[in-house]
Amino acid sequence: MSSSTKLNKAEGGKCVDSKLYRSMIGSLLYLTASRPNILFSVCLCARFQASPRKSHLIAVKRIFRYLRDTSCLGLWYPRDSTFNLHAYSDADYGGCKIDRKSNSGTCQFLGSMLISWFSKKQNSVALSTTEAKYISLGSCCAQVLWMKQQLLDYGVKVETIPLKFDNTSVICLTKNPIQHSRTKHIEIRRELGLTSLS
């Protein structure tokens, strides 16, 4: 599924068997443990389990067809890979058509081996692409710090960990600790979100 594909509730669409739909989603969620390339699509389709429509079922069947045609794809973990930890982070701005929340996506590599990944809808509506990508980067950073500690427990010390993302304004925001009037709301909204969770 293209990352630009937008699914909505399709309230006027034909209803489908929700038990069948949920079982298909469950099978696909199980597969995301070894097929990170379908994670975004599966998570997008999983949001409509309460009241699935025909358009949602078509999208799920498309994922199954993709899996059938790419059964030879998988994760590769070579023996001679280095232990350099690095990560990638990205977010789409207002990617969900229903509530206009952004989707975060991150992946972490140990050398050339993919060891951790996730795709998740953000908790609040971002007011800018900078905010959406900054929140995604924060989630990625938290995961990387946890992984650094885990590696330290195994006796592997990692000094520097590159985090790679593609937004110049986020790079400037992370390098400059001064709160600007255009970015002050990001810290406030993050603090409110964290206190409401605790």
The tens digit of pLDDT for each residue in 82-140 reads 888 999 998 888 777 778 888 888 999 988 888 888 888 888 787 777 788 888 888 88
Structural domain boundaries enclosing 160: 85-197
Residues 42 and 101 in one domain: no
Residues 129 and 182 in one domain: yes
Burial of 50 (0-12, 13-18, 19+ CB in 10 A): exposed
> Bigger pLDDT: 23 or 8?
23
Distance CA(175)–CA(34), nearest Å, equals: 35
Query: What sign does the dihedral 54-45-194-175 (CA atoms) show?
Result: negative
Distance CA(99)–CA(171), nearest Å, equals: 27
Other beta carbons within 10 Å of 182: 13
Q: How confident is the model at residue 198 (pLDDT cuts 50, 70, 90)?
A: very low
Q: Is residue 12 part of a domain?
A: no
Residue 73 tokens, joined: 């794809």
Identify any residues that bridge with 87 across adjacent strands, giving them in sequence order: 108, 163
Question: What is the tally of structural domains in the chain?
Answer: 2
Residue range 5-27: mean pLDDT, rounded:
83
Q: Is residue 118 part of a domain?
A: yes
Residues 118 and 160 in one domain: yes
- Domain end point (choices 38, 69, 100): 69
Alpha helices (H) along 32-98: 39-46, 54-69
The tens digit of pLDDT for each residue in 138-187 reads 888 889 999 999 989 988 888 888 988 887 777 777 677 565 655 655 66
Residues 186 and 90 in one domain: yes
